[in-house]
Structure 1
Amino acid sequence: MSRLDLNPWDIRTFHINPIQSSLIFHNPNLEFESLIQHLKNSLSRALDFFPPLAGRLVATPHGEGMASFSVDCNNAGADFTHAVAPAVSVSDIIEPSFIPEIVDSFTPANSGATNFDGIWKPVLAVQVTELADGVVIACSANHTVVDGASFWHFFTSWSEISRASESISKSPVFDRASAVAEENRQIHLPTVEQNLIAPSQLPMKVFHFSKEKLGQLKAKANSEAGTDKLSTLQALMAHLWRSTLGSSGDSTTRTHALGFAIGARSRLPCFPDAYFGNAIYPVALAISESDLLKGELGTTALKINQLISQHSNEAIKCDAEKKLDFRSRPNAPSGIAPPLVISSSPHFRVYDCDFGWGKPVAIRSGKTYKVEGLVVVSSAAEPGGIDVEVCFTEDTLKAMEDYLTSH
């Protein structure tokens, strides 16, 4: 494989940040010198199965400020950093409900890069950090090359190789089967200022939902909506969205927005389960604060369900493959509260990443996810549970905690 052309599904992610996640493990009971070499060797072997991650982005100019993008699978390599934090223990990371600032240092040094920087920087960067009683393995990947499903496909495959497997259980599919017009692959080169969502200094807090609690939320939402079609994730999204309003019950005229991505792998035949690339479509829902307060959990969850149902598979495909224009970004209208944006998914097999000394005890996102209103959803270490990392002001996080504790 020498080249991978990026299509509009990939290109639309230029305006967001790279994907970053860290897995935290207890002490692997190995000498770190040999462990680091083992992880380097297994990473190198894993990249044989994922050549775009060892390549570089290439911009092909077409005149008048237009360019198309591809990945030159030139085996230029991934970045690998070995770091040491001997005074930090696993409990220091996973026990506080507010994510400690030290977690930001676990992501690779070039993790502040934009997706455009993939032209001269590695598509994939890895950092392995020694702790007093454990190890953190973190990856940062260019979002134009991978979405969440592809990111974790690679991460779990690397762990398979690390466990001495000769091959991987699911081979990636790189074929861009969807016929996208060549002119739709060309975009006006955007500026970083227009398209980078800069990380903030706001705190991040972890909320845990057990399997039992999630079952209660789903049952309550379906009962209140008079249906049986609301999923666990739809009920949870509605619950989190309502929690941002606080528990005071004060009604205002502000509008609240919820954004999330619809996965296309299960919807469109051109995207098989092992498709390696971006196969997500962003959608958003806006409701007045007074309506959110007056409604029930089931009412809100049903609106989310209806939004998803309104987007037919073919409509998503046609809209996602339209020509993109990054030259300007609309300003948010006044009276709009910071949107709640749901990222990642509890369906990713995070805890299957066993590198040979046991499964991780926790997952934490990278500093690029520190954007006001961003919610990172992942499966919990406890089977059936879900953990969410939320970035908001301290006042909003306190209001969410009060609401989630009492509801």
Structure 2
Amino acid sequence: MTQILHISTTTVRPTTQDDQLTAPKIELTPWDLRLIQFDYIQKGILFHKSAETEDSNVSLVQRLKDSLSLTLNIFYPLAGRLVVSENAEDSTVSISIKCNGAGAEFVHAAADGVKVADILNPYIPDHVIFNLFSLNEVRNYEGVSKPLLSAQVTELLDGIFIGCSLNHLVADGTSFWHFFNTWAEISRSGSHKILQPRPVFGRQFLDGVIDLPVHLPFSYSEIIGEPIIKSSSFNAFLQRVVFHFPKEKIAKLKAKANAEMGTTSNISSLQALMAHLWQATTRARHLQPDQQVNYRFAIGLRQRWEPETLPKEYLGTAIIGVNVTAIASELLQNGLGWAASQINKKISSLTPEQARNDLVDWVNKPTLIPNMRNPTLLARLLTGSSPRFNVYGNDFGWGRPLAVRSGAGDKMDGKLTVFPGAEEGSIDFEACLLPETIQTMMDDAEFMEAVA
């Protein structure tokens, strides 16, 4: 078992407490609240040690702390805590972000015997990756007492891993990488005067759609609910592997899918790649022909909102999960184009009006998405993240990252996390599946033809 030495754990606060620069409270939207039982977002990036980082690890850590503090001046809600308010008039509760400057957590650690090559291994060693993140097995609702953000900087034998755990009620993937990009630029430049755009906190886009704060018809104890299977126990039965798809092979999949459907470019590269994985995992699971298979994925709403699109810099969750279903035999017999077209139709059919109606319906009858680690849910896939996030632009002052990895949060059999690949135009899928499923996929010539 890899030993992780925790050298220090400190609280990093914004350098300024100017009340005029901060909102005392930010209300959470239905997009945020429905994820309250989920784990924190956990993503991290890997670097080689450079001459600069090898000169003084202590100064490197201090530099990252100082730049994080400056970043929290800009992303000040991440230094706050969740607050639960009881509404006596209707026996409901409301949850918001209290921007109190309580601070983010900063962990400095060292991994005994772990090399960069160990993290780059496509077969991700969970016992290593799990310990490169802090706030493991913490649910979003725990943000009332725990930090909303925790950064862990782990020294490897020949590298550095920077892992962040961020409360999913406060941010989605777009917001997560906006924060990461800003922190990297401040670290690199040594100044808060940067090119990264400022985050947007306002919820005015909901005016006339729903009222804030949202009144939840259950208590905080009901939100916590039954004990959830721990990720460490659940992941013991699963294996993770990174499938790397080069730009050229992705282009072939896209061309094949569109040709089968008689189109030129209606089906995107990502949709073709998702269909390729959907079919491959279905084959590898050896399901009954009449078994229903379900693919759930997140659709970003920033560009879909009307009358005006949400700014890219909006800090919060602006995604909606949708499902595509098929019968196993139908999925496997109809070809790549058919599978990709089902995904394409679902994405294309989501209108701004539907997004607004979804919010209104949820406020009228709130439901919480249960934690996904349920072993009884079979024949499903779930894709999160995006290949469009700026992962490899995160230069903290010693060069671009080598790779991106995610933590143990919300892992399940069928979780497919998508990232941009290290080479331009390539895409990586971090697959979390049963070992026998992965082995069958590795033996599947049709699937592996697209893998580097």
TM-score, length-scaled by structure 2: 0.85
Contact 2:28/2:214 (CA < 8 Å) preserved in 1? Answer: no
Tell me, yes or no, if structure 1 residue 78 matches structure 2 residue 95: no
Tell me, yes or no, if structure 1 residue 46 matches structure 2 residue 68: no
Structure 2 stretches lacking a partner, 5+ long: 1-21
- 1:315 — aligned with what? 354
Higher mean Cα deviation, 174-183 or 355-364? 174-183
2:427, 2:393 → 1: CA distance?
15
Which of 75, 85, 92 pairs up with 1:60? 85
1:294, 1:274 → 2: CA distance?
42
Superposed displacement of residue 313, structure 1: 1.4
- The one-letter amino acid paired with 2:158 is D
Superposed displacement of residue 166, structure 1: 3.0
1:81, 1:391 → 2: CA distance?
26
Corresponding residue SS for 1:285: strand
Which of 218, 221, 231 pairs up with 1:188? 218
1:163-202 pair list within 5 angstroms: 163-164=188-189, 165-168=191-194, 169-177=196-204, 178-179=206-207, 180-182=210-212, 184-189=214-219, 190-193=222-225, 198-199=230-231, 200-201=234-235, 202=238
Which of 249, 259, 263 pairs up with 2:296? 259
1:100-179 pair list within 5 angstroms: 100-108=126-134, 110-164=135-189, 165-168=191-194, 169-177=196-204, 178-179=206-207
- 2:18 — aligned with what? none
Tell me, yes or no, if structure 1 residue 284 matches structure 2 residue 327: no
Contact 1:194/1:329 (CA < 8 Å) preserved in 2? Answer: no
Superposed displacement of residue 187, structure 1: 4.4
Which of 330, 337, 343 pairs up with 2:384? 343
- The one-letter amino acid paired with 1:218 is K
Contact 2:28/2:213 (CA < 8 Å) preserved in 1? Answer: no
1:328, 1:230 → 2: CA distance?
29
Tell me, yes or no, if structure 1 residue 26 matches structure 2 residue 52: no
Q: Deviations over 1:221-244 (max 9, x none)?
A: 111111121011111111110011
- 1:394 — aligned with what? 435
1:54, 1:393 → 2: CA distance?
37
1:56, 1:96 → 2: CA distance?
36
Tell me, yes or no, if structure 1 residue 225 matches structure 2 residue 265: no
CA 1:83 to 1:364, structure 2 compared with 1: closer, same or farther past 3 Å? same
1:195, 1:309 → 2: CA distance?
37
- The one-letter amino acid paired with 2:245 is F
Contact 1:6/1:185 (CA < 8 Å) preserved in 2? Answer: no
- The one-letter amino acid paired with 1:275 is Y
CA 1:394 to 1:157, structure 2 compared with 1: closer, same or farther past 3 Å? same
Q: Deviations over 1:10-37 (max 9, x none)?
A: 1111132210011100003321100000
2:120, 2:213 → 1: CA distance?
48
Corresponding residue SS for 1:377: strand
CA 1:333 to 1:127, structure 2 compared with 1: closer, same or farther past 3 Å? closer
Contact 2:71/2:192 (CA < 8 Å) preserved in 1? Answer: no
Higher mean Cα deviation, 87-96 or 179-188? 179-188
Contact 1:262/1:283 (CA < 8 Å) preserved in 2? Answer: yes
- 2:26 — aligned with what? 4
Which of 273, 293, 305 pairs up with 1:236? 273
1:357, 1:303 → 2: CA distance?
43
- 2:15 — aligned with what? none
1:16, 1:376 → 2: CA distance?
16
Q: Deviations over 1:87-117 (max 9, x none)?
A: 1110011024344421110001x22210010
TM-score, length-scaled by structure 1: 0.94
Contact 1:253/1:335 (CA < 8 Å) preserved in 2? Answer: no
What percentage of aligned pairs have identical amino acids?
Answer: 40
Superposed displacement of residue 383, structure 1: 1.0
Corresponding residue SS for 2:74: coil
Superposed displacement of residue 119, structure 1: 0.1
Superposed displacement of residue 192, structure 1: 3.1
- The one-letter amino acid paired with 2:292 is T
1:174, 1:158 → 2: CA distance?
18
Contact 2:34/2:368 (CA < 8 Å) preserved in 1? Answer: no
Superposed displacement of residue 329, structure 1: 6.1
Contact 2:373/2:411 (CA < 8 Å) preserved in 1? Answer: no
Contact 1:194/1:327 (CA < 8 Å) preserved in 2? Answer: no
1:359-374 pair list within 5 angstroms: 359-374=400-415
1:375, 1:139 → 2: CA distance?
19
- The one-letter amino acid paired with 1:357 is W
Higher mean Cα deviation, 277-286 or 2-11? 2-11
- The one-letter amino acid paired with 1:237 is M
Corresponding residue SS for 1:101: helix
- 1:87 — aligned with what? 113
Q: Deviations over 1:161-205 (max 9, x none)?
A: 001243232110111021222474434233434595752221111
How many aligned residue pairs are there?
Answer: 406
Corresponding residue SS for 2:171: coil
- The one-letter amino acid paired with 2:34 is R
Superposed displacement of residue 314, structure 1: 1.5
CA 1:378 to 1:143, structure 2 compared with 1: closer, same or farther past 3 Å? same
Q: Deviations over 1:24-60 (max 9, x none)?
A: 0000332110000000000000000001100000001
Contact 1:20/1:107 (CA < 8 Å) preserved in 2? Answer: yes
CA 1:167 to 1:369, structure 2 compared with 1: closer, same or farther past 3 Å? farther
Contact 1:67/1:188 (CA < 8 Å) preserved in 2? Answer: yes
Superposed displacement of residue 273, structure 1: 1.3
- 1:35 — aligned with what? 60
Corresponding residue SS for 1:337: coil
2:408, 2:253 → 1: CA distance?
30
